[in-house]
Amino acid sequence: MESKKLIDLAKTIRSKNAGTDKITFDIIFRERQNYELVKNSGRITKAAMAALYSLPEDRICDFVEYDPAFAIKFTIYRSAPSGSPGERDIFGCQQYAPLLDIEIPVN
């Protein structure tokens, strides 16, 4: 089965701060075709993201497939508040990397 990496299908893949206790992730597509392909693949789901980030599923507080914008968004609760001692990414902007290499079947 042929596949493509998510980074080759999406226009934007990012993470960012969503308040002191959350990080949000955005996967945005330019074309409806790529958005629908990824959405229907079952590779980007709440359960799949929990597994990818080694989190219990209840740490994902939001998971949205937003058809009008060709976007998938999910938000996780941080393990420690932003900026607290030992916290490694105050802005949450370095957490998206595991998403880049997700393989999406294309046929």
List, in order of start, the domains of the chain with CATH numbers.
3-81+88-99 (3.30.70)
pTM: 0.93
For 56, the token pair is 């219990």
Which residues, 6+ apart, have CB-to-CB distance to 17 below 8 Å? 23, 24, 82, 90, 91, 92, 93
Per-residue pLDDT at 31: 97
Which residues, 6+ apart, have CB-to-CB distance to 72 below 8 Å? 26, 27, 35, 38, 39, 44, 64, 65, 66
Q: Using the predicted structure, report yes or no on whether residue 6 has a pLDDT greater than 90.
A: yes
Give the ranges where 1-107 is alpha helix by DSSP (H). 6-9, 32-41, 46-52, 97-100
